[in-house]
């Protein structure tokens, strides 16, 4: 059974967590985290590369030692060093690191000072008010830990959800496998995966095939299947090795569009469409559109919508959040597509914590058809990334100018990802900022400020005349870190009043802004920039996740800054 990239990354991340809990060298810990990130961002299967005897040591951020460990995982399904460390440290500590506000370092303190090895022990220690006495902790920390544990307990019965990028890695090879089965005519993944939600609980796969096809049998034989839950002639359910459940339904071609519609839309969207059908004397279900006992539509989704006098509604919009009313009025948005993107406005290089050179990033952007790429390495406050001070930034500006003289078909923008400090001032002086084409600003520390102070901090930063884009505006990490407290409506008004652009960060761990805030920005007339925050050439491909999120938020090309040509973008940046 091939090991998925996500599985390799998870093992490396677990090892890094336990190393950090143990107090290992920070550079060693970071090496494993970088390796996890690089493997999860590969556009190819690491297992296939190993089986093809390709040299993984040449990949960014690996080297011979880590490449050998990837091979170990591919060949055995395990990381021996992790297994050894789990014998030394309780593996349950990893669960504690996942609690918002903790992480490996604080978990290490809890373990070393109080001997805490489980969520239950952590709860009791917090109730006994022992945590507030530890170095680096406080009363508020203790309260937040109890709140987070309570929140987790309230959702303990919920099934696990997977980030869209992980779901995609699991779904695409399965769909390709099924398409190659003899007799199969159509294969689609429906549900929240097709609607491109941030997280996906399971996969609903539909298949249409010729009579006699062995597609159901072949599905159950798929090499990544860990357990068969149910099997039948028209529906079977399996659990993949990574834990995700997959339902396969065999559908008649005459009903395929109706089934795809039924299993794609949210429950609320489907009910609304069925109600419209009922008002016209029609019955709409997964088998088709019926008038009495006669099926009058259902081969395509377009037929289903046409029978209730609606145009086709894109899957990402099917949430019953105004799309039906907009369709009735002929006001559906002309949604953004990936081909509309003309450049990327936040990327990093080896000058700080990136893993590719200026030339490599420029070449990769040109290969993707981009007209421009903003180089926005970290500023000096991010010491862990060896952020740039004014002197080093000045040298990089000169280097970019020299490189631009040689580049053909692509322009590198001189930029910085600049920290907004706790008092709202920016991390570098205006003298150096005025030499830049673009200034991307963000919050990287003091996430726990009260909402009023956090909001004031960001708005003060936005008021700086060189401030161009507010990056990952809420600081969230999906499933890992909650957004910091901030008054988003007030923040957006500040952005609108100053002409500040809000970033939709396309990193699949972030997708920040959340869809609700992206849509709010659109309604308030605030420009959005979709950026990958790429730290290597492979991560430039994350742009698609940002586009998915933008489509769910109803964005059209005109709402997005980096759909502009280089000439148009220059004018907008000068005006700012």
Spatial distance between the Cα atoms of 486 and 378, rounded to a whole number of angstroms? 23
Please give the average per-residue pLDDT across 186-215, as a whole number.
95
Q: For 225-366, where are the E strands, in sequence order?
A: 225-230, 235-240, 245-250, 283-285, 288-291, 294-297, 343-347
Q: What residues contact residue 318 under an 8 Å CB cut-off, 6+ apart?
A: 195, 264, 265, 266, 269
pLDDT of 427 reads 93
Tens digit of each residue's pLDDT (9 = 90 or more) over 229-275? 999 999 999 999 888 999 999 999 999 999 999 999 999 999 999 99
| Cβ-contact 419, 395 below 8 angstroms | no
Domains and CATH numbers, the chain: 5-154 (1.10.150.110), 162-250 (3.30.460.10), 266-328 (3.30.210.10), 338-575 (3.20.20.140)
Higher local confidence (pLDDT), 83 or 335: 335
Spatial distance between the Cα atoms of 180 and 176, rounded to a whole number of angstroms? 6
pTM exceeds 0.75: yes
pLDDT of 312 reads 98
Please give the average per-residue pLDDT across 421-435, as a whole number.
95
120 three-state secondary structure: helix
Please give the average per-residue pLDDT across 553-558, as a whole number.
98
Residue 75 sits at φ, ψ, to 5 deg, of -80, -30
pLDDT at 17 over 70: yes
317 three-state secondary structure: helix
pLDDT at 151 over 80: no
Spatial distance between the Cα atoms of 396 and 426, rounded to a whole number of angstroms? 19
Please give the average per-residue pLDDT across 412-426, as a whole number.
96
pLDDT of 576 reads 66
pLDDT of 137 reads 83
Q: Residue 563: which of 572, 552, 553, 575 has the closest Cα? A: 572
Q: Residue 375: which of 445, 291, 436 has the closest Cα? A: 436
pLDDT at 333 over 90: yes
pLDDT of 159 reads 64
Task: Using CA atoms of 548, 315, 248, 170 in order, give the dihedral in degrees to the nearest 10.
Answer: 0
Please give the average per-residue pLDDT across 557-576, as a whole number.
92
What length does the chain have?
576
Spatial distance between the Cα atoms of 427 and 77, rounded to a whole number of angstroms? 44
Q: Residue 70: which of 24, 10, 1 has the closest Cα? A: 10
Please give the average per-residue pLDDT across 46-59, as a whole number.
82
């Amino acid at each position: 059974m091939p090991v998925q990239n996500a599985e390799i990354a998870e093992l490396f991340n677990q090892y890094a967590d336990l190393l950090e809990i143990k107090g290992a060298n920070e550079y060693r810990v970071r090496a494993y985290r970088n390796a996890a990130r690089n493997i999860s961002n590969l556009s190819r299967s690491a297992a296939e590369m190993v089986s093809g005897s390709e040299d993984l040591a040449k990949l960014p951020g690996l080297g011979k030692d880590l490449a050998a460990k990837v091979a170990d995982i591919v060949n055995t399904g395990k990381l021996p060093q992790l297994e050894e460390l789990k014998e030394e440290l309780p593996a349950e500590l990893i669960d504690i690191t996942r609690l918002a506000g903790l992480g490996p370092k604080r978990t290490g303190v809890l373990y070393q000072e109080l001997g805490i090895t489980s969520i239950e022990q952590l709860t009791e220690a917090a109730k006994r008010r022992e945590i507030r006495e530890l170095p680096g902790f406080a009363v508020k920390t203790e309260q937040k830990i109890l709140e987070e544990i309570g929140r987790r307990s309230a959702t303990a019965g919920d099934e696990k959800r997977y980030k869209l990028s992980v779901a995609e890695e699991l779904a695409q090879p399965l769909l390709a496998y099924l398409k190659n089965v003899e007799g199969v005519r159509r294969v689609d993944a429906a549900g929240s995966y097709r609607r491109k939600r941030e997280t996906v609980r399971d996969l609903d796969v539909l298949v249409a095939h010729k009579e006699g096809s062995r597609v159901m049998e072949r599905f159950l034989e798929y090499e990544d299947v860990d357990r068969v839950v149910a099997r039948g002639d028209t529906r079977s359910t399996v659990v993949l090795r990574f834990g995700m459940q997959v339902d396969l339904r065999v559908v008649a071609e005459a009903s395929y569009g109706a089934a795809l519609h039924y299993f794609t839309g949210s429950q609320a969207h489907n009910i609304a469409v069925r109600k419209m059908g009922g008002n016209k004397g029609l019955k709409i279900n997964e088998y088709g559109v019926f008038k009495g006992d006669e099926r009058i539509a259902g081969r395509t989704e377009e037929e289903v919508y046409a029978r209730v006098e609606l145009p086709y509604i894109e899957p990402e919009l099917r949430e019953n959040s105004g799309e039906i009313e907009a369709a009735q009025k002929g006001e559906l948005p002309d949604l953004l597509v990936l081909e509309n993107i003309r450049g990327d406005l936040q990327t990093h290089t080896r000058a700080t914590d990136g893993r590719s050179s200026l030339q490599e990033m420029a070449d990769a952007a040109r290969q993707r058809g981009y007209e421009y790429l903003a180089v926005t390495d970290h500023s000096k406050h991010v010491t862990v990334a060896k952020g740039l001070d004014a002197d080093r930034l000045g040298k990089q500006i000169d280097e970019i100018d020299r490189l631009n003289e040689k580049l053909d078909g692509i322009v590198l923008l001189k930029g910085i990802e600049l920290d907004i400090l706790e008092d709202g001032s920016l991390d570098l002086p205006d003298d150096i900022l005025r030499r830049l084409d673009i200034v991307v600003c963000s919050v990287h520390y003091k996430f726990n400020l009260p909402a009023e102070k956090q909001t004031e901090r960001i708005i003060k930063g936005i008021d700086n005349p060189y401030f161009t884009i507010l990056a990952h505006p809420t600081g969230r990490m999906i499933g890992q870190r909650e957004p910091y407290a901030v008054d988003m409506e007030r923040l957006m008004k500040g952005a609108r009043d100053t002409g500040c652009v809000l970033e939709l960060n396309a990193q699949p761990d972030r997708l920040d802004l959340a869809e609700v805030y992206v849509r709010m920005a659109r309604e308030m007339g605030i420009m959005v920039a979709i950026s990958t925050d790429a730290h290597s050439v492979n991560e430039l491909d994350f742009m698609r996740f940002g586009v998915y999120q933008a489509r769910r938020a109803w964005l059209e090309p005109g709402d997005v800054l980096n759909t502009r040509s280089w000439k148009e973008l220059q004018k907008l940046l000068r005006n700012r």
